[in-house]
Amino acid sequence: MDLTDRPRRLRTDGLRPLVSETTLHETDLVAPVFVDATTDERVPIESMPGHERVPVDAAVERVSEVLETGVEAVIVFGIPESKDEQGSRAYASAGVVQEAVRRITAETDAYVITDVCLCEYTDHGHCGVLEPHAEDDPTLTVENEPTLDLLAKTAVSHAEAGADMVAPSAAMDGMVGAIREGLDAAGYSDIPIMSYAAKYESAFYGPFRDAADGAPAFGDRRHYQMNPANAREAMREVALDVEQGADVLMVKPGLPYLDIIRDIREAYDHPVAAYNVSGEYAMLHAAAEKGWLDLDGVAHESLLSLKRAGADLIITYFAESVAKTLSAGYRA
């Protein structure tokens, strides 16, 4: 055989890293942080090994732990001390996220992103104001326009507390435009919006809903989150968010939607984010606990695939552990 083209020549130890097409860095990662106003101690999240809900008093300590790994950004989620039909603690100036953000920004150099939604704050667990009789009628869920007003109020309250970026996740039509208008009117025109632009109604969210205490009390979110079968619809959603002023475009979940990440990367010059969600994290941990997979290896490969597909930044529960392996010189 006369093989002039031998790809294996490029796979020797010295050359392999030099020709690597995709590289993962600690600064590509965003670590989720759960702050819980109902506890005065750290509470492990059983379905997400290695993660905890922390009290407001421990928020700075928790973020400092993230920064020590080389990860520079966090996204903050809150569990309020009380809930109501309107989710009023989401936009309260003394709310759990607002108080945590004030402390984190005052005492650390972390880049602080906040999730903007109402599901953790409503007593029904849906992402906005309910339509009349929604609890009894499976064809009804959330009223769009009244919810937009509350999302804008929430985003402004986060900016007032010191958030560097807001990330609306409620999957409401027009939410980016409403938030952009609200931020600009309040004097926060420099605060960027990372939109959950293509957010699917996914079975991979289960552990997060335990962590954030945000599961719906009835029904599901199929009337506002996207159908997992649809790709063209994702591009329509993204186009609308771009028109309304989104600065960063997110796909959630990540691994089951690599095609969507690639489509957005090829169509837009905006930064693209991928959310490597709780179910993706939990299933790898479960397999590793059985001895079926090497956890460090599959975690690194999972995040590398998201970046290879086109993600510029990755929100992941593996942020700290992967950052530690990267700093230790991990090689795939």
Contact 272/238 with Cβ under 8 angstroms? no
Check 199, 290, 307, 324 and give the catalytic one: 199
Rounded CA separation 98/157 (Å): 7
The answer to the question of whether 243 is labelled as a binding residue is no
- CA-closest candidate to residue 128, choices 114, 138, 139, 117: 117
Does residue 153 carry a catalytic annotation?
no
The answer to the question of whether 209 is labelled as a binding residue is yes
Does residue 252 carry a catalytic annotation?
yes
Report residue 322 CA to chain centroid gap. Answer: 17
The answer to the question of whether 127 is labelled as a binding residue is yes
The answer to the question of whether 257 is labelled as a binding residue is no
Looking at this protein, which amino acid is placed at residue 208?
A: F
The answer to the question of whether 278 is labelled as a binding residue is yes
Looking at this protein, which amino acid is placed at residue 83?
A: K
Check 83, 153, 252, 307 and give the catalytic one: 252
The answer to the question of whether 237 is labelled as a binding residue is yes
Burial class (CB in 10 A: 0-12, 13-18, 19+), 274: buried
Rounded CA separation 309/264 (Å): 10
The answer to the question of whether 26 is labelled as a binding residue is no
Residues forming the annotated binding site?
Answer: 117, 119, 127, 209, 221, 237, 278, 317
Which residues are known binding-site members for Zn(2+)? 117, 119, 127
Active site residues: 199, 252
Q: Which residues are annotated as a binding site for Mg(2+)?
A: 237
Known binding residues for 5-aminolevulinate are: 209, 221, 278, 317
